[in-house]
């Protein structure tokens, strides 16, 4: 059995890395593909926005 490669987005260099080559403090991931890792910041922004919208919806329901 071979292990599938893992890809990470380095927030310091804005580069995709295969494997854990940089400090954990600078890595986002793991991602299954190089393309997913390259889109890490966009994905994080979309998730954050969705969570903010969910929080706002819950706050409105509580009032």
pLDDT tens sequence across 31-45: 999 999 999 999 999
Look at residue 22 and tell me if it is in a domain. Answer: yes
Instruction: Please write down the long-range contacts of 37-42, taking CB distance under 8 Å and 24 or more positions apart.
Output: 37/7, 37/8, 37/9, 38/9, 40/9, 41/9, 41/11
Look at residue 2 and tell me if it is in a domain. Answer: no
Residue 44: domain span: 7-62
Look at residue 31 and tell me if it is in a domain. Answer: yes
How many domains does the chain fold into? 1
Look at residue 1 and tell me if it is in a domain. Answer: no
Look at residue 28 and tell me if it is in a domain. Answer: yes
* Tens of pLDDT, residues 8-61: 999 999 999 999 999 999 999 999 999 999 999 999 999 999 999 999 999 999
Look at residue 42 and tell me if it is in a domain. Answer: yes
* pLDDT band at residue 1 using 50, 70 and 90 as cut-offs: low
DSSP per residue over 46-59, as a string? HHHHHHHHHHHHHH
Specify the pTM. 0.79
Q: For residues 34 and 7, give the distance between their C-alpha atoms in angstroms, rounded to a whole number.
A: 6
């Amino acid at each position: 059995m071979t292990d599938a490669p893992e890809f990470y987005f380095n927030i310091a260099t804005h580069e995709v890395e295969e494997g854990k080559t940089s400090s954990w403090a600078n890595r986002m991931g793991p991602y299954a593909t190089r393309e997913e890792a390259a889109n890490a910041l966009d994905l994080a922004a979309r998730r954050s926005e969705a969570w903010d919208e969910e929080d706002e919806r819950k706050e409105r329901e509580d009032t």
